[in-house]
Each structure stands twice: as structure tokens, then as C-alpha cells.
Amino acid sequence: MGKFNNKISAEFHPPKKWILERALSYQNEDIDVSDLEKIGVKCTANRITCKKGFKTDLASVPRAIWWLISPWDIARAAIIHDLLYLRIRQYRAKLDKDHLQYDQISAYKSAKKEADKVFLAAMKDADPSVPKWKMYAAYYAVVLFGRWSIIPREGD
């Protein structure tokens, strides 16, 4: 079972960015973070930390379905997941796109799978608890559609 170090303390910056006012971390001894560490994610004692000043959009839930799954329900897990996807994009941005190696492609694909599992584990450990149907809807959404979010962007 895992735990978060604190509640979210963040300032809203329109139109849809939040900046953490203090660090937020998630620790779970039962998750495997080895593939995340291979791409440069620092996970001391299976703790993943978003530092003060980290920029997030919370959960990328389309506004039209906030009545079903609002970003507030899964926000802490989503912030940790945002950091992991950022690290995957940064890893991919450093690769030579003309000479990609199989092990490099495998590394970021494995890291994405682990990041998505961390997201699910963090939602399971959330307090207040997230209903199972909501957890799995959010989890399968990132499994299916997250591949576009790990493509390097300007500014990563």
C-alpha cells in the first residue's frame, strides 16, 4: 500500500495550468519502478516526487465529462503521472530520431506502462477514496490514449 506525503497546494494559472506551491510525493514499496529509473526518473525508496514549482494540468479530462470524472477526484495521482510522462517525453527528446535503437523504443514503452500502473496504484491509495469504476475509467483512458502524451513537445 502506498501513500502521498501531503495534500495538493497549487496556484491556478489560466487557462488550465496549476503550479505546485510545495512538493508532492507518492511512495509505494509494492510498485516496480525499474523501467522508470532506466529513463532517468529518480525513485528513491520507490518515492516519486514532484518538486515545488512543477507545472501540471491535473487530470486531462475533457470538460464535457467532468460530471462523470472530474479532475479533482484523481488529482494527486494525475500530478504524479504528469511528472512520469514528462520524464518519458524528455527521454524521447534526447534520442536520435533517425537512428532509434530497439532497446530505446522498448525502454520508453515499458516506462509508459509502469507510469500508467503507478497512476492506478496512486488512485487506489487516494484519500478520500476514488470509486473503482472511476479509477479504472481513468486508468484505461491513459492506457489507450496516453501514447500521444509521451510524444516530445517544445518546452519539455
| Residue 124 · residue 82 · CB < 8 Å | no
* Cα gap 135→47, rounded to integer Å: 21
Burial class (CB in 10 A: 0-12, 13-18, 19+), 148: exposed
**How many other C-beta atoms lie within 10 A of the C-beta of residue 85?**
21
Q: Are 21 and 51 in contact (CB under 8 A)?
A: no
pLDDT digits (tens, 9 = 90+) for 69-128: 778 889 999 999 999 999 999 999 999 888 889 899 999 999 999 999 999 999 999 999
What three-state secondary structure class fits 87?
A: helix
pLDDT in tens, 125-149: 999 999 999 999 999 999 999 999 9
**Element spanning 24, H or E:** strand 24-27
Q: Are strands 17-20 and 47-50 parallel, antiparallel or unpaired?
A: unpaired
Angle between the 102-124 and 75-94 helix axes, to the nearest 10 degrees? 170
